Amino acid sequence: MSGHSKWSTIKHKKARTDEKKGKEYTRIAKEIILAARSGGGDPEANSKLKLAIQKAKAINMPNDNINRAIKRGTGDLESDVIEEMNYEGYAAGGVAILLDIATDNRNRTASDIRHLFSKHGGNLGETGCVSYLFDRVGLITVNREDVKTDEEEFMLLAIELGADDVREDEDSLEIITSPESFMDVKEKLELQVKIEYADIVMLPQTSVEITDENIAAKILKLIDVLEDHDDVQNLYSNLSIPDELLEKLS
């Protein structure tokens, strides 16, 4: 797992304020709207919408909010026009950052994101400047302590169910799938073990290790402010930070 992923895990374990929860609801609502707009309002016929609804329920988003978001996506309720796009850039130390954006005002968002990159020692780049460093995959994470069978048997089972690879981390197993087989593998694995995390992500092909404390702190600050921006749906990076430094910074 990349340093950025571990940093996100540390942050998510901290108590969420009402403001943070509200931002989470807004982010997932946008995801539901976009999924329903592109693939229809039936989650059984729209895997993207099905996954978005699962995420909403995982953070206890009220059903009324979920249903309103679906109706906004299908056009049954009025909604602002939301555009999807990707922004790419570099943080300090040459760390690549890739952003999924959902906005109703692309000029405002571009200005905001450019300012945040610049303020925190990075720079917003052109389309394609870092995306080639990432692969779009399905990622399913399982805590090792939740695997009740032999780990090697579980890893073989995941491959038999359609996973492309299984990677070992200190506390977890990461199951990698193609985007197309992701939902099928996820639903089959859920019958076997508790799933900690599951989503379609942009996985870095290689990582950039940062060992300088000041540079690492600057990068993590940039990641924090970008993730807190209302129009940023997802943030991916190829950041790697040694565990001892990450713990110190947290």
Once rounded to an integer, what is the mean pLDDT over residues 66-77?
96
121/16: higher pLDDT: 121
Given a contact cutoff of 8 angstroms between Cβ atoms, the answer to whether 3 and 246 are in contact is: yes
pLDDT at 1 > cutoff 90 = no
Q: Where are the beta strands (DSSP E) in the chain?
A: 83-90, 96-103, 123-124, 134-143, 165-168, 172-177, 197-204, 208-209, 232-237, 239-240
Q: What is the pLDDT of residue 78?
A: 92
Domains of the chain (ranges, CATH numbers): 14-74 (1.10.10.200), 83-132+206-249 (3.30.70.980), 133-204 (3.30.70.980)
199/7: higher pLDDT: 199
Once rounded to an integer, what is the mean pLDDT over residues 208-223?
95
Query: With the C-alpha atoms ordered 11, 109, 218, 136, is the resulting torsion angle positive or negative?
Result: positive
Q: What is the pLDDT of residue 148?
A: 86
Per the prediction, the chain carries an average pLDDT of: 91
pTM, full prediction: 0.88
Given a contact cutoff of 8 angstroms between Cβ atoms, the answer to whether 149 and 247 are in contact is: no
DSSP character at residue 161: T
User: For the segment 22-37, what is each residue's pLDDT rounded down to a tens digit?
Assistant: 888 999 999 999 999 9
